């Protein structure tokens, strides 16, 4: 799964008189950490949804097996050395 947000780093040309202060640097780091945290929450939520879907598929198979077992069909004894055909 792709990242939701990419931290954008804009190069600063020191010749133009722009200085990156320590406060700006801390803000950028804090934003980056926050975005990574949000991204990890998103990935966790989508993973949980996928696992729930897979669980429902497996449960549907077992429900179908239970329904077939209650149908009252002929039960034959399985003999391993005799083919069923």
- Evaluate whether residue 75 is within a structural domain: no
Q: Tell me, what's the pLDDT at 57?
A: 94
Alpha helices in the chain (DSSP H): 22-69
Structural domain contains residue 47: yes
Please check whether residue 29 lies inside any domain of the structure: yes
In a domain, 65, yes or no: yes
What's the chain's average pLDDT? Answer: 77
pLDDT of residue 48: 83
How large is the average pLDDT for residues 49-62?
91
Tally the domains of the chain.
1
- Predicted model pTM: 0.39
């Amino acid at each position: 799964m792709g990242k939701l947000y990419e931290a954008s780093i804009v190069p600063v040309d020191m010749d133009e008189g722009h200085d990156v202060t320590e406060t700006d640097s801390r803000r950028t780091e804090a934003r980056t950490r926050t975005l990574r945290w949000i991204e990890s929450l998103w990935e966790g939520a989508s993973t949980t949804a996928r696992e729930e879907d897979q669980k429902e598929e497996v449960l549907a198979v077992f429900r179908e097996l239970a329904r077939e077992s209650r149908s009252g069909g002929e039960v034959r004894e399985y003999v391993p050395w005799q083919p069923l055909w």
